[in-house]
Chain A
Amino acid sequence: MRRVTERHRPGFWIGAAGAMVALLSAGVTPGFAQQSVAVRAVLAKGALPTDDPNAAIWDTAPQASFPMSPQVHWQNRIQEVTVKDVKVRALHDGNQVAFLLEYADPTEDPDDAAALEFMVGDKKAHFAHGQPMMQVEGGPVNIWYWKNKDKKGVDMNAMGFGTLKVQPHQDVKASGAFSSGTWKIVFSRPLATEHAEEDTQIIPGNFINVAFAVWDGRKDGSGELVEKGSQKAVSSWWYFRAEPPPDYSPYLYAVLAVGLAVGFQFVLIRKLKKGQEA
Chain B
Amino acid sequence: MGALTKPVILLVTVYLFLKFVVPNIPGSAPLPASLIFLYLMLVTAGIVIFFTMSSESKEAFWGPIQRFLTGENLGALSSARYAVLIVFPLLVGWQTFGSTAVSDAPPAENRTIHPAPPGEYTGLSNPVSKTPENIMQGKGFYAAFCSPCHGGNFDGKGPAARGFNPPPANFADPTTIAMLQESYLFWRIKKGGVGLPIEGMPWKSAMPRWEVELPDEWIWKIIMGEYDGAHQSPRTWE
Contacts and interface: CB of A to CB of B under 8 A. Distances in A.
Interface of A: 4, 9, 11-12, 14-16, 18-19, 22-23, 28, 31, 34, 37-38, 66-70, 72-75, 77, 79-80, 84, 124-128, 131-136, 138, 205, 207, 233-239, 241, 243-244, 247, 249-251, 253-262, 265, 268-269, 272-273, 275-276
A102 B159 CA distance: 22
Given A19-B83, A66-B163, A276-B70, A126 B88 contact: no
Interface residues of B, number: 57
Contact of A234 (B88, B90, B148, B163): B163
Nearest to A18: B83
A80 B159 contact: yes
Contacts of B208: 72-74, 77
A69 B164 contact: yes
B60 to A, nearest CB: 16
B78 A254 contact: no
B86 A67 contact: no
A19 B92 contact: no
Contact of B206 (A128, A132, A272): A128
B90 A79 contact: no
Given A236-B163, A236-B165, A265 B204 contact: no
B190 to A, nearest CB: 11
16 contacts: A11-B81, A16-B86, A22-B87, A38-B106, A68-B162, A69-B206, A72-B206, A136-B197, A205-B102, A235-B163, A239-B106, A257-B93, A261-B88, A269-B70, A272-B69, A276-B72
Given A67-B162, A134-B194, A237-B204, A265 B81 contact: no
Given A125-B203, A135-B196, A265-B88, A72 B100 contact: no
Contact of B100 (A23, A84, A253, A276): A253
A268 B160 CA distance: 66
5 nearest interchain CB pairs?
A: A15-B82, A69-B163, A11-B78, A261-B89, A257-B96
Contacts of A138: 203
B203 A11 contact: no
B202 A126 contact: yes
B106 A254 contact: no
Nearest to B94: A28
Contacts of B85: 15, 265
Interface in B92-117: 92-97, 100-102, 104-107
A234 B198 CA distance: 23
A265 to B, nearest CB: 6
B206 A15 contact: no
A170 B160 CA distance: 34
A131 B97 contact: no
A236 B94 contact: no
B195 A34 contact: no
B191 interface: yes
B80 A79 contact: no
A265 B89 contact: yes
Contacts of B106: 34, 37-38, 207, 239, 241
B129 interface: no
B161 interface: yes
A251 to B, nearest CB: 7
A133 B202 contact: yes
B93 A261 contact: yes
A131 B192 CA distance: 12
